[in-house]
Amino acid sequence: MISPELLASVQLIAFDFDGVFTDNTVYVTQDGVESVRCWRSDGLGLSRLRNIGVQSFIISTEANPVVTARANKLKMLCKQGVEDKAAAILETCRELGVAPEQTMFVGNDINDIPAFKSIGIPVAVADAYPEVYPHVLFRTEKPGGFGAVREVCDLIFHARNGS
């Protein structure tokens, strides 16, 4: 478990999309149109954090209209087609004036390892690939696409409010 003090220090959260907001499943129509399933309660958790000044954004290796649509619905900044997530997260920290030590990254796969190493508070979802475990401070109890985002939001919200 991450200490309440460390959770309360979070100013910025970067979220991978596939496997974090989703359960890593993609539905493809015969026309090649993709859709995914997301956890609705994530939105309320993100809104509560936004209301207390915690910024968040989605960062994804893949560029996909599904990610854009979800980010827009959640009123989140979205960076897609990102090959080097670590560099993009650090650039966003500089743009927003947030220290990397006060930044959390939530991911699930081996391509997230450099990003985990680049910031102060690396977190993996419960069903992340085992190779990422040594690189994170915490694993959620909930798997990606089934409330992991909301779980992280609630932990930060309660740490900030002392509840």
CATH code of residue 39: 3.40.50.1000
Residues with Cβ within 8 Å of residue 133, at least 6 apart in sequence: 124, 139
The backbone region for 150, taken as left when phi is positive above 0, alpha when psi lies in -120 to 50, beta otherwise, is alpha
Q: Which domain holds residue 53?
A: 4-161
So what's the pLDDT on residue 162? 81
Along the 163 residues of the chain, how does pLDDT read in single tens digits? 799 999 999 999 999 999 999 999 999 999 998 889 999 999 999 999 999 999 999 999 999 999 999 999 999 999 999 999 999 999 999 999 999 999 999 999 999 999 999 999 999 999 999 999 999 999 999 999 999 999 999 999 999 998 7
So what's the pLDDT on residue 152? 98
Give the separation between CA 40 and CA 28, rounded to whole angstroms: 21
Six-digit token string for 33: 């149109």
Structure pTM?
0.96
**Domains contained in the chain, number:** 1
So what's the pLDDT on residue 86? 98
Sheet containing strand 138-139, edge to edge, reads 77-79, 55-59, 12-15, 103-107, 121-124, 138-139
Residue 68: Cβ within 10 Å count: 14
Residues with Cβ within 8 Å of residue 42, at least 6 apart in sequence: 21, 74, 147, 149, 150, 153
